[in-house]
Structure 1
């Protein structure tokens, strides 16, 4: 097989990864219920008056800010020519978006139904607040968080928590709400011999990060320490928030476990406004829930301590593009590719593959593979891939090219794959357009027979045939992820899985609600093909379908009853609410009122 692969192929996969990182699920309408048992929003008479806000602002060192939709400077009511030019230039930058208190990484979460403020609409068009919070507390200390929590609780205000806006379910924004914006809590400290508070355990290498630290910042700092860390593929994702709290997968998870497995300690502000430390020796139930039970649910995390690991060296990096000319050959290709994954997992491989189809009628379907093998040489890596590559070489209807190369470190992989060859991703662009997303954990047991593997391959091709979608395969389970453990709330389906299959499809900015809903319906229908094939499995909370059926089981598995009990204990009034989060079945669709009041 010719050792050639185009840079555009890597760019395509990187773009799809960005879509999956930044895309959201689907639009929803917001309801206001003027009822004493409902939370108070800005459109209701119960909303605090200006003097109450002034008093609150004085108590938090003047950190309260009025929040506007990010496109507001380009509309008549707030028009600012210079600011509007910046907005238009930066609109697609995930770094710029993460710096805006009212911006989400996918712009349709800034809308509430058909109420929105679009960058694509004329200057004299309506600019609605949509789902953008009315106020945000730009917190810089835990005490600011405590004050905001106590104020929201005392005034019965709808509260949300936001760092960067990487959020598929609209968890970190809500119409008429108050936002705790953690983005500027950038403290970071390394520990050569970390021991969690009140614990008597062997010390380990670790780093403690504030709630506003993003993975690009943390990766660079960790690399300077000569270490590696289990982190996100989206470098503008927060390092302490929803990513590790929901599990957090990484290409080095098979070597070191999920992000949740590597969190050693949290500092958390509870619903009562208390600042507590949660680890394996104190507040143990809360610590268990925070590692896998989902973000925005059990409290406001103000810092997280992650374990760091010795550097990975001599990585083998496999990049292959393989084209099939008809459905039968594509089915054969995917089946033979899938069959080798148990042995690849045993060898230590991980990474991502992308399935795409220009059109099955145009007879061009593509499998793009980007896998890494840590601490092994190229010769060994090629030997593990040889049976599959020989099959591709001899198949008359398959055309493949690519190679296995040696990388000196995980940092080199990071710069080549995530940053397009740059040492830092800070200048990267390309925040994804709005879209819909779903995923399914594919259990290792499915690979026990060729028949079931063929069924999986057929389902994947059927998705590409029926729906305008892309499929990303995250080969990030197995290995250390599969290690039996019950010390955290990570969905047990992760421990049984080998792959995570992620389906995505998008729409243009300004698409109608019906167009958006149609895309979302298609993604849900596509995901059902994988759900039917994998009964009893689950999904990854952060990359799941907004309308995931039986979400309690799919997100949390057998852990859900225990999570419910912990939620009732640490947040009995439900101050922290989000879509399809633990305990959310109690509330109306807009999460403002008890469901029984509807």
Structure 2
């Protein structure tokens, strides 16, 4: 299954000088010491910390550069699970003119909140920069920094289901709800296996199965079916978090409510280190389905008419809680359909698409270059590798490391993400007014003209216009930019190249191509956003060089987030690129 294939789209601002170094882009410059500076921890200082955390401190290495691990690394470097198991690697290899994956000075393989509290206090006292990594998927490089202490939560991987959960500090009589308690090191495939495959419930996670649950939620967190079930942030009911003062806090709507609110979409790594999350779980729809196909137009005029009709069709038949995922628009006059549905039978799903199918069939200017195709399956098996293998489905790829859990899999289309070199990546929420009949033609023209510079996708599940009132109310109580409530889709425009991990044979950073691609993405973004000037962006999938990033990510919530930051981290112990400072 072609799930969220990496780098379909992006936005970029005017080029910065190529000579600029990554450190110039990092907020908090001068706040932390660097090796060799007066006061930098001695080996004895590091060893003292190691004793305090039970021997769980080590020096992380790039396994491709270590003779002892190189052979194994070469055998598994294309496996996202393997990469996630290496404290010296991140899932993305580099971003043009921005950052390159580099191991930290030390890593704490944390096993408890107390381990993390000890490390946070020590790092603050010694002025050592902290970096947090769960899944390691941060496109902005938040889990990557040389000369830092990496808090690595991979070992804190647990998922436990419970009924009748009531948050700590809640008023007497508060009704309990079914939940999943998720450790900070859990990936979404771990949660899906426990909650859905084994537990028969739905949890709102991310599309990519190796994304960490904690960072996903800090960023807001969209999944394929977010119009139906909301964001990860809106389903968070409680969290355990270590704050800058070294305290372990249990926060929710009743205890430290402003910190809890800030954790729900306020940006990963800005307010503390999450050690455990408690998510609301939902009833499990009986079926989930996939719709695919590609339509090609034979003239520019016909392509514009097709795009306009496709947007009308989405507005009238698909902009509701039953549908998610994306449409892709390409410069060769092609629209690719990559959609999912839940809560419908195949007959109902077919009926939702039939008007567009009939419209295309009645016009000679269009061809189904990839035939319309639909398939449904029991939702309980949607993340069930064993089910796929029993039915000969090639959508998923197992974790091929010996001794790893048999349920672990990634979508086949996500494999290309490992080590990728991002040339440009950004996003923009498109407001619902663009779907009005008087605006659809203008929107279609913008889409067509933008796609000539760079193909891109509209992710309908990453805008909540068309969701239920309940879903919108929960999302409104998060720190995300309120624009998401009225956005019918998130446009993502991006591009990149193959893996560039240091030590990878034949790895090549083609910066000439990267600059050309960046310029194309920038042109496409500029053209598309002419119909949505000042559009907000999604923190977790956005431009490293995002202009006015606070307004773009959080809109009217910036002041409230800044107040929470001053309360819980007044000295800036936790600082990330494009975060609240």
Cα displacement (A) at 1:194? 0.8
Q: State the partner residue of 1:67.
A: 60
Kept in 1: contact 2:396–2:409 (CA 8 A): no
- Pair 465,370 (structure 1): closer, same or farther in 2 beyond 3 Å: closer
**Greater CA deviation, 16-25 or 210-219?**
16-25
Q: CA RMSD in A?
A: 3.0
Q: State the partner residue of 2:451.
A: 464
- Pair 192,42 (structure 1): closer, same or farther in 2 beyond 3 Å: same
Among 417, 425, 430, the residue aligned to 1:442? 430
- Pair 517,175 (structure 1): closer, same or farther in 2 beyond 3 Å: farther
- Pair 206,353 (structure 1): closer, same or farther in 2 beyond 3 Å: same
- Pair 440,487 (structure 1): closer, same or farther in 2 beyond 3 Å: same
**Greater CA deviation, 517-526 or 195-204?**
517-526
> How far, CA to CA, are the matches of 1:23 and 1:152 in structure 2?
35
Q: How does 1:409-424 map to 2 (within 5 A)?
A: 409=379, 411-412=381-382, 419-420=395-396, 424=407
SS in 2 for 1:543: coil
> How far, CA to CA, are the matches of 2:10 and 2:241 in structure 1?
26
Cα displacement (A) at 1:132? 2.2
Q: State the partner residue of 2:402.
A: none
Deviations 1:134-161 (A, max 9, x none): 1111100111100110011000111111
**Greater CA deviation, 416-425 or 142-151?**
416-425
Is 2:387 aligned against 1:399? no
Cα displacement (A) at 1:371? 2.3
Is 2:256 aligned against 1:273? no
Cα displacement (A) at 1:193? 1.1
Q: How many residues align?
A: 540
Q: State the partner residue of 1:5.
A: none
Q: State the partner residue of 1:230.
A: 204
Is 2:487 aligned against 1:497? yes
> How far, CA to CA, are the matches of 2:384 and 2:488 in structure 1?
23
SS in 2 for 1:61: coil
Is 2:233 aligned against 1:253? no
Deviations 1:533-557 (A, max 9, x none): 2135311111111111221111101
> How far, CA to CA, are the matches of 1:210 and 1:412 in structure 2?
22
Which ranges of structure 1 fall in alignment gaps of 5 or more residues?
1-9, 74-78, 117-129, 584-598
- Pair 418,251 (structure 1): closer, same or farther in 2 beyond 3 Å: farther
> How far, CA to CA, are the matches of 2:93 and 2:490 in structure 1?
26
Q: State the partner residue of 1:301.
A: 274
Among 15, 33, 48, the residue aligned to 1:40? 33
Q: State the partner residue of 1:426.
A: 409
> How far, CA to CA, are the matches of 1:405 and 1:132 in structure 2?
43
TM-score with structure 1 length normalisation?
A: 0.83
Q: State the partner residue of 1:591.
A: none
> How far, CA to CA, are the matches of 2:49 and 2:309 in structure 1?
63
> How far, CA to CA, are the matches of 2:11 and 2:151 in structure 1?
22
- Pair 418,206 (structure 1): closer, same or farther in 2 beyond 3 Å: farther
Kept in 1: contact 2:88–2:102 (CA 8 A): no
> How far, CA to CA, are the matches of 1:222 and 1:373 in structure 2?
20
Cα displacement (A) at 1:174? 1.1
Is 2:314 aligned against 1:341? yes
> How far, CA to CA, are the matches of 2:30 and 2:145 in structure 1?
18
Q: State the partner residue of 2:103.
A: 132
- Pair 245,324 (structure 1): closer, same or farther in 2 beyond 3 Å: same
> How far, CA to CA, are the matches of 2:238 and 2:417 in structure 1?
31
> How far, CA to CA, are the matches of 2:178 and 2:261 in structure 1?
21
> How far, CA to CA, are the matches of 1:49 and 1:484 in structure 2?
48
SS in 1 for 2:212: coil
Kept in 1: contact 2:235–2:474 (CA 8 A): no
SS in 1 for 2:491: strand
Is 2:189 aligned against 1:196? no
Cα displacement (A) at 1:321? 2.1
Is 2:282 aligned against 1:317? no
> How far, CA to CA, are the matches of 1:418 and 1:70 in structure 2?
30
Q: State the partner residue of 1:520.
A: 518
Q: State the partner residue of 2:189.
A: 216
**Greater CA deviation, 141-150 or 327-336?**
327-336
> How far, CA to CA, are the matches of 1:90 and 1:421 in structure 2?
13
Is 2:145 aligned against 1:174? yes
SS in 1 for 2:495: strand
Q: State the partner residue of 1:506.
A: 496
> How far, CA to CA, are the matches of 1:261 and 1:448 in structure 2?
28
SS in 2 for 1:373: strand
- Pair 453,46 (structure 1): closer, same or farther in 2 beyond 3 Å: farther
Deviations 1:439-493 (A, max 9, x none): 111111211134x2222222222233124x4435344433145447642212101
Q: State the partner residue of 1:408.
A: 378
**Greater CA deviation, 377-386 or 427-436?**
427-436
Cα displacement (A) at 1:345? 4.2
> How far, CA to CA, are the matches of 1:414 and 1:530 in structure 2?
38
Q: State the partner residue of 2:348.
A: 380
> How far, CA to CA, are the matches of 1:286 and 1:418 in structure 2?
43
Among 561, 564, 582, the residue aligned to 2:562? 564
**Greater CA deviation, 471-480 or 452-461?**
471-480
- Pair 143,348 (structure 1): closer, same or farther in 2 beyond 3 Å: closer
Cα displacement (A) at 1:96? 1.0
> How far, CA to CA, are the matches of 2:248 and 2:238 in structure 1?
13
Among 76, 79, 85, the residue aligned to 1:99? 85
> How far, CA to CA, are the matches of 1:109 and 1:211 in structure 2?
26
SS in 2 for 1:207: strand
Cα displacement (A) at 1:307? 0.8
- Pair 506,582 (structure 1): closer, same or farther in 2 beyond 3 Å: same
> How far, CA to CA, are the matches of 1:308 and 1:484 in structure 2?
14
- Pair 403,135 (structure 1): closer, same or farther in 2 beyond 3 Å: same
Larger relative contact order (C-alpha < 8 A, sep ≥ 6)? 2
**Greater CA deviation, 375-384 or 212-221?**
375-384
Kept in 2: contact 1:349–1:371 (CA 8 A): no
Which ranges of structure 2 fall in alignment gaps of 5 or more residues?
399-405, 501-507
Q: How does 1:567-586 map to 2 (within 5 A)?
A: 567-583=565-581
Deviations 1:405-428 (A, max 9, x none): 443325337767994388945266
